[in-house]
């Protein structure tokens, strides 16, 4: 889901007046008649963002979706962190090199005892 607040360059706490002002400023900046280097995609994104954020009912729905997505992302991050912590607890105390040296020492000791 695109971040319409970022597209319109306003914070999520912005008032309707601030959103409208920002939309008009950006629309003028990216309008093909005023800026020959402007891309059509910029105007389409601005219009789409303003359609959602400029309408109080749609904005409330969008904010609820953003909040739910953020909650899910936080839950995934928390789960990932917990899994990493559990994996650390289950890792062996020695490195593989220490294991090899330990094996060689035990082998030598057993060979000496057999002789």
Cα(65)–Cα(15) distance, integer angstroms: 19
Token duo for residue 66: 């953003």
Give the pTM.
Answer: 0.65
For the chain (115 residues), the mean pLDDT of every run of 10, in chain order, is 93 94 91 75 91 95 95 94 82 79 90 80
Q: What is the pLDDT, as a whole number, of residue 91?
A: 64
Token duo for residue 110: 């057993």
Structural domain count, the chain: 1
Cα(3)–Cα(26) distance, integer angstroms: 16
CATH number where 37 lies: 1.10.287.110
State which residues form the domain around 13: 4-114
DSSP-derived 3-state class of residue 42:
helix
């Amino acid at each position: 889901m695109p971040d319409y607040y970022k597209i319109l360059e306003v914070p999520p706490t912005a008032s309707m007046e601030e959103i409208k002002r920002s939309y008009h400023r950006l629309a003028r900046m990216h309008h093909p008649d005023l800026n020959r280097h402007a891309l059509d995609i910029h105007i389409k994104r601005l219009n789409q963002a303003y359609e959602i954020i400029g309408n109080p009912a749609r904005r409330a729905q969008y904010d609820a979706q953003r909040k739910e997505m953020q909650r899910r992302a936080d839950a995934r991050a928390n789960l990932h962190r917990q899994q990493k912590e559990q994996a650390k607890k289950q890792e062996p105390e020695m490195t593989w090199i220490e294991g090899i040296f330990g094996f060689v020492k035990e082998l030598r000791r057993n060979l000496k005892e057999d002789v």
